[in-house]
Amino acid sequence: MEPESPREPPPQEGSCPPGERPPSALGQSLSQIVHRLTSQEPRRGKARSAALEDLSALIEATECDELLEGGGTWRRGMPEVLGQVARALEKYAAPPREQEGRRRADCEVAEKAAAVGLLFLKLLGRMEAAKSSLVGPTWTAGLRHSAAPIYVFALTHSLEHPWTSPRSREVAGEVLSVLLRVTPCASVAGFLHGEHEDEKGRFTAVMELLKRDLNKESWKNNPATKHVFSWSLQQVTRPWLSQHLETVLPPSLLISDDYQTENKILGVRCLHHIVLNVPAADLLQYNRAQVVYHALFNHLYTPEYNLIQAVLLCLLDLFPILEKALQWKGGAARPTTHCDEVLQLILTHMEPEHRLLLRRTYARTLPAFVKRLGILTVRHLKRLERIIIGYLEVYDGPEEEARLKILETLKLLMQYAWPRVPCRLVVLLKALLKLICDVARDPNLTPEPVKSALLEEATECLILLNHCSQGQVKDLLVKILQSCEDSKVVNCIRKVQQVSEGTSYNGT
């Protein structure tokens, strides 16, 4: 077995720079511990465990002023050494690359994280005690170098992941709470971007620490990196995020371009946060917005409904930025927009789609596209008509989400493109009446509240259709009213007639 000794010689980088006094005994001991924690030699597990024990004893036995100032002999280097210790501990507790047979490895990581978390609590306790001691402002230098790795450790292990356990999550959560108290910051967002707009936060330091694991070759080496990056990014909002755009945009694009759906969704959500929190001028500079658009557009060919949902929501917020540069001067036809391009592809996919989850996803965002295009929706009217009629015919499960959204789309379509509606009167009237009859005669598949919502939405569509056709719907419904015996159908028809005659009814 390999002998272990806390007295092995310190590494070369631990020696003092020219012109400085040599490191204290404490500095040498800490440098040795860093070397033992970061050594890549095989069979070093027990050596690292012993290093943790030595570090714990060292922190407990050292006074605050000596720990943070180096006992007056190496003041300039002591905060950097504490930063190296914090980085070594964070790396020691990091989960390994994804591989087979991870359960045992994950248990080991959780045990390491719990032990490292207790060490961080001791170190933060020393810093907190130093705030009111004779050390004065010197404690802030040590915190400045060690805050980022402590934060990365706490975030890696405080959320529920395969490599965490209840104990490791509890300890890591406590580390994060104490770190915010020592900083002091009221929230993680304040810790990252600063409590005030003119205050510099620690997001830059955190990204510097994550940068080594956020490139194309290494971002999967640590499965926690993407989650730490994504969660931290979500905390930085306007106006702070714009100054970090060059740092956060490349890794977001990188994660979204992965082959795994989980990573694609994570990356798209990062891009969406950037789109919402960075000024349009910054996104348009250097064609960044176009790069994001093409990265998102390529995902629309996937059959994964949850990815499609995330992409469409992001695109809807990106369209106003992309179209800022488009100016219609009148006289000529309006230029085709990115929204037109996306809607055309969506409608192409919607028409033959038979999978319910994808049908619901497409239908869920269709009203937003019609609102976005307004009168320009007439460019897609023929295909929209076919899709509306086809989707209204198909039962969509107990919640009927797809059919409700299609009825909402039809209402918007008639409001924006009403001059084109009369020539489609018969087709739309048949589809709406068929839907009303199917819902009214449905014995037990659909809950009563959903049935009521469907009948109400269909009735409002009939009222709009009647307005667009200058009262033709009311005349066509007279014969149906005379022969129909279903009370629910009759009630819908009477509402249409009452509104057309200027009489109000409940629900309008």
Which segment, 117-126, 348-357, 472-481, is predicted with the most confidence on average? Answer: 348-357
**Count of all residues that appear for the chain in the document:** 508
CA dist 38 and 133 (Å) reads: 33
pLDDT band at 20 (very low <50, low <70, confident <90, very high): very low
Please give the model's pTM, rounded to 2 decimal places: 0.87
- Looking up tokens 């705030």, which residue turns up? 131
**Hey, what are 165's tokens?**
């356990």
Give the residue-averaged pLDDT of 474-488.
Answer: 80
Side-chain-side CA neighbours of residue 374 (13 Å)? 3
Q: Where are the alpha helices (DSSP H) in 323-355?
A: 338-350
Average pLDDT value for the chain: 84
Instruction: Please report, rounded to a whole number, the percentage of residues in the chain having pLDDT higher than 90.
Output: 50
For the ranges 61-70, 233-242, 358-367, 454-463, the lowest mean pLDDT is seen at 61-70
Residue 239: asked if its preceding bond is cis (omega within 30°), the reply is: yes
Task: Assess if residue 377 is contained within a domain.
Answer: no
Given 277, 303, 329, the domain boundary residue is 303
Question: In this predicted structure, what is the pLDDT of residue 100?
Answer: 43
Is the per-residue pLDDT at 501 higher than 90?
Answer: no
Check if the beta carbon of residue 16 is closer than 8 Å to that of residue 77: yes
The reply to whether 110 falls in a domain is yes
In a domain, 163, yes or no: no
Q: How confident is the model at residue 271, as a pLDDT? A: 98
Residues 127 and 225 in one domain: no
Helix or strand (DSSP H, E) at 436: helix 425-441
Q: Which of residues 253, 282, 303 is at a domain's end? A: 303
Q: Is residue 507 part of a domain?
A: no
What is the Rg, in whole angstroms, of the alpha carbon atoms belonging to the chain?
32
Share of the chain above pLDDT 70, in %: 83
Residue 412 above 60 pLDDT? Answer: yes
Structure tokens at 38: 């970061």
User: Residue 479: is its pLDDT beyond 70?
Assistant: yes
Q: Which residue has the tokens 């990356």?
A: 267
Statement to judge: residues 63 and 20 lie in one domain: yes
Say whether both 35 and 117 belong to one domain.
Answer: yes
Spatial separation of the C-alpha atoms in residues 304 and 4, rounded to whole Å: 53
- Do 31 and 11 touch, CB atoms closer than 8 A? yes
Q: Range with the lowest mean pLDDT among 22-36, 83-97, 166-180, 427-441? A: 22-36
Closest C-alpha to 176, from 162, 193, 189: 189
Q: Is pLDDT at 137 greater than 90 in this prediction?
A: no
> Are residues 85 and 146 both part of a single domain?
yes
**Is residue 151 domain-shared with residue 59, that is, in the same domain?**
yes
Q: Tokens for 360, please give them.
A: 């619901």
Tell me the two tokens of residue 434. 């068929």
- Who has greater pLDDT, 67 or 473? 473
Res 4 pLDDT > 90: no
The answer to whether residues 78 and 208 belong to one domain is no
Q: Are residues 20 and 115 in the same domain?
A: yes
pLDDT, one tens digit per residue, over 100-132 is 445 667 788 888 899 999 999 988 888 888 776
Residues 266 and 212 placed together within one structural domain of the fold: yes
Q: Cis ω on the peptide bond leading into residue 184 (within 30° of 0)? A: yes
In whole angstroms, give the CA distance from residue 342 to residue 370: 12
Q: What pLDDT does residue 104 have? A: 60
Contact 168, 114 (CB under 8 A): yes
**Does 278 have pLDDT greater than 90?**
yes
pLDDT digits (tens, 9 = 90+) for 27-71: 777 878 777 877 765 445 667 778 788 887 887 777 666 666 654
Range with the largest mean pLDDT of 4-13, 98-107, 474-483, 497-506: 474-483
Q: Report, as an integer, the average pLDDT of 412-440.
A: 92
Residue 243 has pLDDT above 50, yes or no: yes
State whether 149 and 68 are in the same domain: yes
User: Any idea which residue has 């770190």 for tokens?
Assistant: 179
Expressed as residue numbers, the domain containing 42 is 1-96+103-157
Domain boundary among 238, 271, 303: 303
Q: Is residue 201 in a domain?
A: yes
- The answer to whether 317 and 280 have CB atoms below 8 angstroms apart is no
Question: CA angle, corner 146, sides to 141 and 147, nearest 5?
Answer: 95
Band of pLDDT at residue 294, cut at 50, 70 and 90:
very high
Let me know: does 337 contact 293? Beta carbons within 8 Å.
no
* Residue 30 belongs to a domain: yes
In a domain, 490, yes or no: no
**Within this chain, do residues 118 and 200 fall inside the same structural domain, yes or no?**
no
Domain membership flag for residue 457: no
Instruction: Report yes or no: 362 and 308 within 8 Å, Cβ to Cβ.
Output: yes
Predicted local confidence at residue 145, as pLDDT: 84
Residues 91 and 36 in one domain: yes
- Dihedral, CA atoms, 233, 196, 82, 47, nearest 10 degrees? -30
Dist CA 113 CA 151 (whole Å): 13
Q: What tokens does 316 get?
A: 């809807």
| Cβ-based burial of 11 (10 A; exposed 0-12, middle 13-18, buried ≥19) | middle
Can you read off the two tokens belonging to residue 334? 């309006």
Region 341-352 average pLDDT: 95
Q: Which two tokens stand for residue 299?
A: 């995902």
Distances (CA, A) of 286 to 177, 252, 280, 289, 339: 40, 17, 12, 8, 21
Task: State how many domains the chain has.
Answer: 2
**Averaged over 294-305, what is the pLDDT?**
95
Q: Check pLDDT > 90 for residue 289.
A: yes
Q: Are residues 124 and 236 in the same domain?
A: no
d(CA 140, CA 131): 8
Compute the half-sphere exposure of residue 68: CA atoms within 13 Å on the CB side of its CA. Answer: 26
pLDDT given for residue 198 in this prediction: 63
Q: What is the pLDDT of residues 187-226, one digit of tens each?
A: 999 999 987 766 688 999 999 999 888 888 888 888 899 9
Q: What gap in Å lies between CA 465 and CA 63, rounded to an integer?
A: 82
Give the Cα separation of 53 and 122 in Å (integer).
12
